[in-house]
A = this chain, B = another copy of it.
Amino acid sequence: MIQKLIANIKKTDAPIVVGLDPMLSYIPAPILKKAYGEFGETLEGAGEAVWQYNKRLIDATYDLIPAVKPQIAMYEQFGIPGLQAFVKTVNYAKEKGLVVIGDVKRGDIGSTSAAYADAHLGKVTVESNRIEAFGEDFATVNPYLGTDGIEPFLKVCREEDKGVFILVKTSNPSSGEFQDRIIDGRPLYEWIGEKVAAWGETCMDGEYSNVGAVVGATYPEMGKILRKIMPKSYILVPGYGAQGGKGADLVHFFNEDGLGAIVNSSRGIIAAYKQEKYASYGEEHFEDAARAAVLDMKADIASALRK
């Protein structure tokens, strides 16, 4: 699956993933009004608004980007109707040729991780049928429970040609509280990065592995070290834009082949029309603002990588 992502990145010349993390406060009033008119101010109404918003964002950007990353929490908060919007979004993005990274941050003990892996990447067995539940291409995974919580995901990656991005160093301010603690002279995130490299060896797909890592754009110096520890792992880089990461910070996350990293932006793209820079689009053309923001992000990263 990493080869499909790489092919999409090469085709679009954009190592960019758009985070589809819809908040109701981002969604333009006309979309909300229509959805509430049809389904009421309910979870169903919210789910419908989220789906219509996502659909227009995908339609306006799919030719420019290799992948989308829906954050499942933003759908789960609306219960079953929210998760129905998640499923519709995943399916529609795949129809448009996009790689879908489910930002689910699941992780549990063995048999339970196997259920999560089947849910998001594999298929579940119901008698003689093998059925896809959520059907993402990649999922993000939390490593705190160790190898036996990760192995069921790796098994599905091998069997179904899917991929994972394992949390190594997250983009948030307090990520260092545990992740940076020093063990035998090195921070915990480096030990996890080494495990990612080892797990990744069992899931190779060409010159890269289907096992990637999450490393925040907000920690570029750590990204530089982790890039070397996990040379064959793609790094999913959140934290660009709204969280403070800049194009110039990103260069160390890439390998010398120009590959090896994909940078996420969520709010900075999907709610671009709320920024002064893109305000002239207005909420009625929010998707055109998102398209402009993708082009600007692409130029920012390309410029940083050229230096």
Q: Which residues of A contact B (CB under 8 A)?
A: 21, 24, 36, 41-43, 45-46, 71, 73-74, 76-80, 82-84, 87, 105-110, 112-113, 115-116, 118-119, 124-129, 131-134, 142-149, 167, 170-179, 181-184, 188, 191-192, 195
Contact = CB atoms under 8 A, between A and B. Distances in A.
Contacts of A175: 145-146
A41 B127 contact: yes
Contact of A145 (B87, B113, B172, B183): B172
Given A108-B105, A131-B42, A192 B178 contact: yes
Q: How many copies does the complex hold?
A: 2
Nearest to A143: B178
A36 B145 contact: no
Given A178-B146, A178-B191, A79 B87 contact: yes
Contact of A142 (B71, B76, B107, B131): B107
A179 B138 CA distance: 26
Contact of A112 (B74, B82, B129, B195): B74
A79 B43 CA distance: 18
A134 B79 contact: yes
Nearest to A216: B109
Contacts of A132: 79
A109 B191 contact: no
A240 B279 CA distance: 58
Nearest to A174: B146
A183 B115 CA distance: 33
Contacts of A124: 43, 46, 77-79
Contact of A127 (B36, B147, B177): B36
Contact of A172 (B115, B146, B176): B146
Given A179-B144, A183-B182, A77 B41 contact: no
